């Protein structure tokens, strides 16, 4: 059944698909009435329902299965948070402008396009060394910093494409959308560029909900925003996009083993490792257990989420042959990251990153700790006491008492109760300072370094603090939706007759209810059936218009309704209907009373169409079902 | 069973409830680590799950039941759209600032609070006429325009509350959050203040999906933003808030009758009509059929959605006794609105508007038509031809031909083919202009008014165009969630033992799976049960800790898990568990194999706890279930 849907197959169907996307309003550019805004799309009823179904199944597959804590944090985010996370300084693309018209371009894109055009246009006339230089630049341009980009633009004489004018020097353009909150405080803020920060900021609250234990995961489904310089590719690069992210907090000592990973050690998944990329080879299937053993994937926790992601994508209707996991090159990853993989899906535009799975180490919790002075830590509890180097503070209590009188005791108690890491910090502080002022209950009390000694000592402890590491699977819902639509789209023998082979749980509407001809008695049955399906929360679409049944099927096929119920003469005598499946177009005869539960179970994936074929008598389609 | 939850009862429980909200992270102020931002809240796992469930049931109750077109439009909205909708000019509150510190206040709030304080403080010492004046101002202050507000502030000597400084003159402060899209176009935009505009802008696309027919409805669930001057009241007045809105497009000639309204004519709903408010009376129950007949509610379409809204609120767990529908006063409504009702829910802070149901007439479609020059119309088709006044254009074809040569025929064809409304516009135009230039296929062709005559004529037509009216039910999800939490909160005989009596479909987690004592054999059963529940998409929470069962029940009660499964010794011998319901704390013994389906049907509302009590043997709780 599985068909290799390579770029060529998908490209061939693309025009027909785009017509359906427009005609049936699956999604369309936003604000078309007002001339449109690049990078903004509205989902119509079909697209919106698929999006809801993808998200709902994401909840079942990840949140319910892994007992994740789903939260809903805000989009509005004050500047200091994004300063700490690094986004204010580093969430940028290099921007160049037409020096006369001011039109802006993304520097890496304009360099790539210009050089690709030259190669295509000049062909064999291009000197071999020039062509080699061009190809090298195209390969590396997205890693260039300002200076290097400026140098290349000058050297290769890159100009504004529409006008041929000079380009301004490349400058970093921050991709966050700014706003101002409040009338008088005028707090600078941004629309969040990812949902992740909301989960880091709520770490301590969630840890408490989990009884202080790691591992646990937080999850969030919501919008992210990127003020793209050059949005394009439909849903692939938008300025406003739906994401689903998990932040899985683990003890760094324990992330290499993940108990539930055992059941996937024999699961084969196509990997494009760093090594394969260096050798210019294609992705190839690995048993996941081997991939971890051989050190291709850094740890079992990361590997487990790669498995779960793969299974999710397949379950919602992505063609497994068109999925691969590509490992980031060392220079692609953030410096703190120990490993990073993208789930890429092959679409008409090539391989597209749809899910990113990164080991972010302790970077984010550390960053917010540093910025706020609040510790974001968990405790590792031991079953038997463990020897640990601890720092001990020895105070000259007598002298302190003499100096500070009754405040002396307050100071002594306070300093002795400091947590280990703060004692450590204090010992380092006194290496360069003579005294330290503590503000205790509103009173400044000074401790002189002459009155303190520090001693390292091995002690048996029952727990120690640590900053958890984070494994982050981050899903781009719009990209996944685009992939599902491309992979599900099909044409029958007559290429005008198009249909989507959606997985029933993803299908925007679960079933259509049609009449074979217009007839008031049929309408009553249709109404009753509709009402009993709706009571079970099943979306359905009725069509009792006076057109040929074949035309009605074509309409429901076009938006991928997997099951069609048809009411005919026999319905009135035998209390049964025909049930048709979209891909096979086979029909069976089913007693009306059994229909609602049957559709419910088909929609939830509890039973399959083959089960239905085994249970009910096949119905021979008449000529009207052309 | 129903208990009147008036403000006093709710206030008494409020402190205990707030402790639970914080301790179990139902929702909490956002960005607390960074000092917090007023009016922004994060939903924790419990709040987020309730929110998702409320939204999911909204989809079933409204979108699936009424076959609405759900869309997902963008939050980023370019300025011209919101200029046309009136938000740029009129979506404002009056702002006054402390003349020395610059702190901003909402003018109506500061006037109200100052006067209420004076009345409370001075009591009987306050002269009767002064007190009467104060009360009148408090009643009307939210309708004051700038001048009137300035006058009252001066006359009543209202000062900045913290400092006693003078206040600046009231100025309208726009409540939309501004941003800028794109690096070079720098398009001024706002975060949408409501989801409605996205549905108006997609009207033509949705009409096409509905085969050109009205009525039909669009729906959207998503975030809205308001840059509140003084956010407060927890989830009640936020700067970022989840909404669920319906725009139901109807033929204005047909909105007075709505077929499905028939089934609700005997439904009794508490109404606080304009007349009752004028008479200073309380709300009182009306049969909805009578309310329309007596002209209290303007039309059946609006009344139908009031009924559906009422039923939705009750189904998700709002106490029916604490719901009323309050009609807007004439001066509260927009000028274009023919009727408007708020679903108000009584909470600890009084009656709170949670849903607004407005007849917005053709205002919005008209506004976007005018701004863009694109017609947003539907067609009324007649079964038999109907006589209509139509305008006829009579051209002096000979003279036009002479003047324009072969372009003459182009102009004649073009003008004769103009739609009726444009012919009407042309006739009005020629009353003050001598000639009109038409750009046809890139060529400017001039028509002189001497060569045209217009005639009104009665003709039989098969259809006519019209701009649909809109009935808009708009739900504030955060406010409804707050109401559910307040109404569901309960304390047992020991007030420390709190629980939520959530409707099972709203409950954040559907069931807990507990062990009576720690035991490895029990753990295996718990794992198997958990796994089979998760396969059905049922959220559950296990607790096999070594604490007393009573304590485990208390933990699950505290977050309102409606059903608790307990594994005990008999489980191993008889393959059965006990199932406990949260409110009654009654338990029954159920065979393990029947558990997953039972919990699924209880969670979906397909069966009730009373059904379970009838079917399974009661289990006598031991002392550990204290």
Query: How confident is the model over A12-29, as pLDDT tens digits?
Result: 889 999 999 999 999 999
Band the pLDDT of A9: cuts 50, 70, 90: confident
User: Which residues on A lie below 8 Å from B104 (Cβ)?
Assistant: 182-184
Measured distance CA(B192)–CA(B3) in Å, rounded? 39
Find the closest chain A residue to B218 by CA distance. Answer: A45
User: Which residues on A lie below 8 Å from B65 (Cβ)?
Assistant: 534
Q: Which residues contact B589 (CB under 8 A, 6 or more apart)?
A: B570, B576, B577, B578, B579, B616, B617, B619
Find the closest chain A residue to B219 by CA distance. Answer: A45
pLDDT at B403 (0 to 100): 86
The alpha-carbon gap from A95 to the nearest alpha carbon of chain B, in Å, equals 8
Judge: A209–B45 Cβ closer than 8 Å, yes or no: yes
Q: Is A400 on the interface with B (CB under 8 A)?
A: no
Find the closest chain B residue to A606 by CA distance. Answer: B536
User: Which residues on B lie below 8 Å from A539 (Cβ)?
Assistant: 63-64
pLDDT at A442 (0 to 100): 80
Q: Is B383 on the interface with A (CB under 8 A)?
A: no
Q: Is A52 on the interface with B (CB under 8 A)?
A: yes
pLDDT at A91 (0 to 100): 93
**What ipTM was predicted for this assembly?**
0.91
pLDDT at A1 (0 to 100): 41
**How large is the average pLDDT for residues A379-394?**
89
Band the pLDDT of A232: cuts 50, 70, 90: confident
Find the closest chain B residue to A81 by CA distance. Answer: B34
Q: In whole angstroms, how large is the CA radius of gyration of chain A?
A: 31
Measured distance CA(A33)–CA(B374) in Å, rounded? 7
Closest CA to B480 of B288, B315, B273: B315
Find the closest chain A residue to B102 by CA distance. Answer: A184
pLDDT at B625 (0 to 100): 46
Find the closest chain B residue to A104 by CA distance. Answer: B184
The Cα-based distances of B581 to A138, A151, B316, B559, B561 in angstroms read 65, 72, 18, 13, 9
Average pLDDT, rounded, for chain A: 93
pLDDT at A335 (0 to 100): 76
Least confident among A199-203, A547-551, B23-27: A547-551
Band the pLDDT of B265: cuts 50, 70, 90: very high
Helix (H) or strand (E) holding A331: none
The alpha-carbon gap from B373 to the nearest alpha carbon of chain A, in Å, equals 9
Q: What percent of chain B has pLDDT over 70?
A: 98
Residue to mutate among B56, B167, B173, B181, with most A CBs inside 10 A, is: B181
pLDDT tens readout for residues B502-517: 999 999 999 999 999 8
The alpha-carbon gap from B255 to the nearest alpha carbon of chain A, in Å, equals 22
The encoded tokens of residue A450 equal 């002459």
pLDDT tens readout for residues A448-480: 988 899 988 888 989 889 999 999 999 999 999
Judge: A181–B30 Cβ closer than 8 Å, yes or no: no
Q: What percent of chain A has pLDDT over 70?
A: 98
Band the pLDDT of B4: cuts 50, 70, 90: low
Q: Which residue has the tokens 């609250």?
A: A205
pLDDT at A113 (0 to 100): 93
Assess whether pLDDT exceeds 70 at residue B362.
Answer: yes
Assess whether pLDDT exceeds 50 at residue B1.
Answer: no
pLDDT at A625 (0 to 100): 46
**How large is the average pLDDT for residues B191-202?**
97
Find the closest chain A residue to B210 by CA distance. Answer: A24
Residue to mutate among B27, B57, B71, with most A CBs inside 10 A, is: B71
Measured distance CA(A592)–CA(A594) in Å, rounded? 5
pLDDT tens readout for residues A114-161: 999 999 998 888 898 999 999 999 988 988 999 999 999 999 999 999
The alpha-carbon gap from B529 to the nearest alpha carbon of chain A, in Å, equals 13
Band the pLDDT of A39: cuts 50, 70, 90: very high
Measured distance CA(B325)–CA(B357) in Å, rounded? 9
**How large is the average pLDDT for residues A563-585?**
95
Judge: A41–B539 Cβ closer than 8 Å, yes or no: no
User: Which residues are registered as beta bridge partners of B217?
Assistant: B248
Assess whether pLDDT exceeds 90 at residue B456.
Answer: no
The alpha-carbon gap from B491 to the nearest alpha carbon of chain A, in Å, equals 21
Least confident among A564-573, B124-133, B237-246: B124-133
- Model pTM score: 0.92
**How large is the average pLDDT for residues B388-417?**
88
Judge: B71–A198 Cβ closer than 8 Å, yes or no: no
**More confident call, B75 vs B102:** B75
Least CB-CB distance to A205: which of B25, B40, B368? B25
pLDDT tens readout for residues B13-37: 899 999 999 999 999 999 999 999 9
Least CB-CB distance to A372: which of B34, B52, B73? B34
SS3 of A490-533 = EECCCCCCEEECCCCCCCCCCEEEEECCCCHHHHHHHHHHHHHH
Q: Is B19 on the interface with A (CB under 8 A)?
A: no
pLDDT at B332 (0 to 100): 81
Residues 518-557 in B contacting A (C-alpha not used; CB under 8 Å): 534, 537-539, 541
Find the closest chain B residue to A97 by CA distance. Answer: B184
Assess whether pLDDT exceeds 60 at residue B496.
Answer: yes
Neighbours of A145 (CB within 10 A): 10
Assess whether pLDDT exceeds 50 at residue A413.
Answer: yes
Find the closest chain B residue to A83 by CA distance. Answer: B34
With b for 16 or more beta-carbon neighbours within 10 A and e for fewer, the A332-351 pattern comes to ebeeebebbbbbbbbbbbeb
Q: Which residues contact B234 (CB under 8 A, 6 or more apart)?
A: B27, B41, B482
Query: To 5 degrees, how large is the angle CA A480–CA A485–CA A487?
Result: 90
User: Which residues on B lie below 8 Å from A82 (Cβ)?
Assistant: none
Judge: A44–B205 Cβ closer than 8 Å, yes or no: yes
pLDDT tens readout for residues B334-359: 778 889 999 999 999 899 999 999 99
**How large is the average pLDDT for residues A44-59?**
97
With b for 16 or more beta-carbon neighbours within 10 A and e for fewer, the A254-282 pattern comes to bbeebeebeebbebebbbbbeebeeeeee
pLDDT at A4 (0 to 100): 64
Find the closest chain B residue to A203 by CA distance. Answer: B33
Judge: B37–A78 Cβ closer than 8 Å, yes or no: yes
**How large is the average pLDDT for residues A158-177?**
94
What is the torsion angle, in degrees rounded to the nearest 10, for the CA atoms of residue B403, residue B406, residue B412 and residue B415? -100
The alpha-carbon gap from B28 to the nearest alpha carbon of chain A, in Å, equals 9
pLDDT tens readout for residues A176-195: 999 999 887 789 999 999 99
**Angle between helix B520-535 and B595-603 (nearest 10):** 50
User: Which residues are registered as beta bridge partners of B536?
Assistant: none
pLDDT at A605 (0 to 100): 86
In degrees and rounded to multiples of 5, residue B25 shows phi and psi of 45, 55
Judge: A42–B73 Cβ closer than 8 Å, yes or no: yes
Three-class secondary structure of residue B582 per DSSP: coil
User: Which residues on A lie below 8 Å from B78 (Cβ)?
Assistant: 31, 34, 37
The encoded tokens of residue A230 equal 């050059």
pLDDT tens readout for residues B156-187: 999 999 899 999 999 999 999 999 998 877 89
Find the closest chain B residue to A57 by CA distance. Answer: B537
**How large is the average pLDDT for residues B368-382?**
93
Measured distance CA(B617)–CA(B589) in Å, rounded? 6
The encoded tokens of residue B460 equal 């039989």
pLDDT at B3 (0 to 100): 58
Assess whether pLDDT exceeds 50 at residue B624.
Answer: no
Band the pLDDT of B285: cuts 50, 70, 90: very high
pLDDT tens readout for residues A315-333: 999 999 999 999 998 878 8
Judge: A25–B372 Cβ closer than 8 Å, yes or no: no
pLDDT at B622 (0 to 100): 59
Q: Is A28 on the interface with B (CB under 8 A)?
A: yes
Residues 208-247 in B contacting A (C-alpha not used; CB under 8 Å): 208-209, 223, 225, 227, 229, 239-240, 242
Average pLDDT, rounded, for chain B: 93
Measured distance CA(B574)–CA(B564) in Å, rounded? 19
Assess whether pLDDT exceeds 50 at residue B626.
Answer: no
pLDDT at A623 (0 to 100): 47
Measured distance CA(A111)–CA(A157) in Å, rounded? 10
Residues 550-609 in B contacting A (C-alpha not used; CB under 8 Å): 604
Assess whether pLDDT exceeds 60 at residue B410.
Answer: yes
Q: Is B184 on the interface with A (CB under 8 A)?
A: yes
Closest CA to B25 of A71, A275, A363: A71
Chain A, chain B: beta-carbon pairs less than 8 Å apart? 211
**How large is the average pLDDT for residues B121-144?**
90
User: Which residues on B lie below 8 Å from A513 (Cβ)?
Assistant: none
User: Which residues on A lie below 8 Å from B76 (Cβ)?
Assistant: 37, 40, 177, 225, 239-240
Find the closest chain A residue to B204 by CA distance. Answer: A33
**How large is the average pLDDT for residues B298-315?**
97
Q: Which residue has the tokens 């009584």?
A: B346
Judge: A537–B45 Cβ closer than 8 Å, yes or no: no
Closest CA to B343 of B327, B331, B355: B355
Judge: B183–A102 Cβ closer than 8 Å, yes or no: no
Judge: B69–A44 Cβ closer than 8 Å, yes or no: yes
**How large is the average pLDDT for residues B546-564?**
94
């Amino acid at each position: 059944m599985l068909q290799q849907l390579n770029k060529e197959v998908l490209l061939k169907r693309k025009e027909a698909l785009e017509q359906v996307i427009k005609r049936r309003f699956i999604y369309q550019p936003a604000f078309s009435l007002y001339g449109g805004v690049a990078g903004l799309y509205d989902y119509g009823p079909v697209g919106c329902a698929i999006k809801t179904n993808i998200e709902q199944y994401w909840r079942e597959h990840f949140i319910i299965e892994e007992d994740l804590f789903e939260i809903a944090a805000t989009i509005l985010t004050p500047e200091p948070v994004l300063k700490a996370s690094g986004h204010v300084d580093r969430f940028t693309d290099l921007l160049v402008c037409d020096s006369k018209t001011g039109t802006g371009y993304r520097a890496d894109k304009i360099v790539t396009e210009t050089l690709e055009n030259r190669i295509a246009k000049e062909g064999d006339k291009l000197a071999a060394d020039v062509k080699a230089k061009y190809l090298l630049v195209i390969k590396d341009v997205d890693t260039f910093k300002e200076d290097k980009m400026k140098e290349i633009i000058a050297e290769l004489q890159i100009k504004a494409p529409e006008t041929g004018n000079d380009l301004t020097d490349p400058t970093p353009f921050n991709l966050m959308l700014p706003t101002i909150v409040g009338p008088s405080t005028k707090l600078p803020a941004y629309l969040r560029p990812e949902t992740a920060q909301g989960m880091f900021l709520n770490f301590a609250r969630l840890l408490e909900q989990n009884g202080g234990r790691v591992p646990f995961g937080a999850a969030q489904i919501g919008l992210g925003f990127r003020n793209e310089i050059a949005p394009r590719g439909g849903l692939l690069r938008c300025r406003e996009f739906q994401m689903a992210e998990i932040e899985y907090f683990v003890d760094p000592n324990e992330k290499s083993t993940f108990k539930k990973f055992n059941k996937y050690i024999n699961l084969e998944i196509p990997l494009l490792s760093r090594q394969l990329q260096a050798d210019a080879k294609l992705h190839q299937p690995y048993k996941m257990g081997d991939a971890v053993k051989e050190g291709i994937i850094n740890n079992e926790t990361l590997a487990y989420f790669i498995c779960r992601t793969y299974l999710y994508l397949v379950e919602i209707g992505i063609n497994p042959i068109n999925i691969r996991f590509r490992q980031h090159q060392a220079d692609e990853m953030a410096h703190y990251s120990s490993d990073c993989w993208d789930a890429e899906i092959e679409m008409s535009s090539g391989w597209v990153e749809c899910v990113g799975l990164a080991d972010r180490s302790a970077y984010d919790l550390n960053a917010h700790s540093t910025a706020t002075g609040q510790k974001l830590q968990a405790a590792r509890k031991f079953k038997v006491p463990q020897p640990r180097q601890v720092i001990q503070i020895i105070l000259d209590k007598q002298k302190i008492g003499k100096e500070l009188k009754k405040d002396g005791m307050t100071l002594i108690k306070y300093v002795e109760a400091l947590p280990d890491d703060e004692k450590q910090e204090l010992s380092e502080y006194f290496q360069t300072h003579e005294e330290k002022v503590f503000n205790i209950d509103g009173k400044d009390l000074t401790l002189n370094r002459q009155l303190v000694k520090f001693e390292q000592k091995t002690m048996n402890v029952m727990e120690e603090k640590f900053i958890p590491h984070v494994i982050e699977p981050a899903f781009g819902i719009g990209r996944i939706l685009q992939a599902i639509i491309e992979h599900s789209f099909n044409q029958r023998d007559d290429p005008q007759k198009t249909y989507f082979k959606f997985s029933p749980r993803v299908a925007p509407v679960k079933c259509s209810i049609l009449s074979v001809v217009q007839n008031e008695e049929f309408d009553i049955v249709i109404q009753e059936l509709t009402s009993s399906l709706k009571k079970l929360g099943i979306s359905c679409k009725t069509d009792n218009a006076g057109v040929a049944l074949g035309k009605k099927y074509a309409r429901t096929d076009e938006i991928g309704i997997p099951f069609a119920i048809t009411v005919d003469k026999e319905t009135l005598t035998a209390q049964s209907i025909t049930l048709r499946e979209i891909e096979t177009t086979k029909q069976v005869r089913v007693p009306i009373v059994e229909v609602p539960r049957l559709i419910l179970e088909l929609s939830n994936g509890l039973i399959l169409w083959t089960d239905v074929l085994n249970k009910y008598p096949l119905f021979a389609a008449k000529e009207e079902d052309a």
